[in-house]
Amino acid sequence: MSFPLYAPAEEHEMLRETVRALADEKIAPRAAAADENEEFPWEVYKDLVAADMHAVHIPEAYGGAGADALATVIVIEEVARACASSSLIPAVNKLGTVPLLLSASEELKQRYLTPVARGEAMFSYALSEPEAGSDAASMKTRAERDGDHYVLNGTKMWITNAGVSEYYTVMAVTDPSAGARGISAFVVEKDDEGVSFGPKEKKLGIKGSPTRQVILENVRIPAARMIGEPGTGFRTALATLDHTRVTIAAQALGIAQGALDYAVGYVKERKQFGKPIADFQGLQFMLADMAMKLEAARQLTYAAAAKSELAMHGTPVKDLTFFSSAAKCAASDAAMEITVDAVQLLGGYGYTREFPVERMMRDAKITQIYEGTNQIQRVVMARQLLK
């Protein structure tokens, strides 16, 4: 498979330094509390908005920073290094809005992307349902035409930042006889009559980001809020994930980098048998393997980001689906392995909440699950190879 040449430019490295400084100063000190209290980090959101890093991918035409895909990856990566829950602010804003960027009318883009760019609203993505996870095409949510409106009924499950986001990209069946080609995409607003939210899920990790059901009961919205043409919603959903799996890879990279950095600092200071434990070859090999896995995943993710950027600007990229799945899969698997090893390197201390690596290990697990489990990613990759 061929791929375009890519490399972080000088402005990307400057961006990394800026985001890391913000993350170290204002995000990392709040990460443990967000996890412990299971509260959305509103102060972090305000800081990201002030720095224009809450939705960097939105084009300048809609008031955004117009950052390319690699810059967006770097922002998410550096925020996740400090706090995985906070990294879901730029990541989910991208997930919710990419369907509009790919398929929506200009009117919808202006109406909904602009307030997100200004930091006045967040955007979530509602695809999964209680009985439609990996098999998303079997969704039951319905949207029935009624004059100039659609009426939506159904329940969406596992929706990240549900309740705090103002806007939702919702997939619903408009033609039950057409299978996946009968699914359409809509923008639903939090304040639409009939929209409610289930209780917060009690989760292993990313506890600072609420995950809830989005419940739609006779939600009547203008037909103009359909994203694209009727029946194109599932195609838009799959195209969206080709771009946003790269952001999950970025989150995984950041979590892994945070764990590796902390473990390296710890083993240099911790002494046993009269010398720093960093002097023991067995631990050095662990660190080398952790860094090797992380850097391999990072290069794959950056290559996938380069392909995503080309595709967003209309260049056909036949292997984007493969690369985005591969990046998400490799980075999340690496993050899980690296964070587990970081806990091991800290010994008993690593198992306590006084140290951040146990939180990082818990946070890393979800990156192997959401936006398509890694088993599904392998199915996707194999299909691309066997075409």
Q: What is the pLDDT of residues 256-313, one digit of tens each?
A: 999 999 999 999 999 999 999 999 999 999 999 999 999 999 999 999 999 999 999 9
Q: What is the Cα–Cα distance from 187 to 194, expressed in whole angstroms?
A: 14
Question: Rounded to the nearest 5°, which phi and psi values hold at 70?
Answer: -70, -40
**Closest-CA residue to 315 (of 69, 55, 64):** 69
Taking residue 2's Cβ as centre, other Cβ atoms within 10 Å add up to 5
Query: What mean pLDDT is predicted for residues 25-54?
Result: 98
Q: Taking the model in full, what pTM does it have? A: 0.97
Taking residue 58's Cβ as centre, other Cβ atoms within 10 Å add up to 27
Residue 9's pLDDT is 87
Q: In this prediction, what percent of the chain has a pLDDT beyond 90?
A: 98
**Closest-CA residue to 45 (of 147, 149, 119):** 119
User: Is the pLDDT confidence value at 4 over 70?
Assistant: no
Q: What is the Cα–Cα distance from 249 to 91, expressed in whole angstroms?
A: 10
Torsional sign, CA 109, 129, 339, 324: negative
Cα three-residue angle 239-314-173, rounded to 5 degrees: 30
> Which residue type, as a one-letter code, is found at position 329?
C
Q: What is the Cα–Cα distance from 247 to 240, expressed in whole angstroms?
A: 11
Q: Which tokens belong to 23?
A: 């993350």
Quick: pLDDT tens for 191-250. 999 999 999 999 999 999 999 999 999 999 999 999 999 999 999 999 999 999 999 999
Residue 1's pLDDT is 41
Between strands 149-160 and 183-189, the pairing is unpaired
Quick: pLDDT tens for 58-98. 999 999 999 999 999 999 999 999 999 999 999 999 999 99
> Which residue type, as a one-letter code, is found at position 266?
Y
User: Is the pLDDT confidence value at 122 over 60?
Assistant: yes
Q: What is the Cα–Cα distance from 252 to 7, expressed in whole angstroms?
A: 20
> Which residue type, as a one-letter code, is found at position 36?
E
User: Is the pLDDT confidence value at 5 over 80?
Assistant: no
* Mean pLDDT value across the chain: 97
Q: Is residue 371 annotated as part of the catalytic site, yes or no?
A: yes
Residue 343's pLDDT is 98
Domains belonging to the chain, first-starting first, are: 10-117 (1.10.540.10), 123-231 (2.40.110.10), 234-386 (1.20.140.10)
**Locus of tokens 């305000």:** 46
| Helix runs in the chain, H state only | 10-22, 28-37, 42-50, 69-82, 84-103, 106-117, 233-269, 281-312, 320-346, 357-366, 374-386
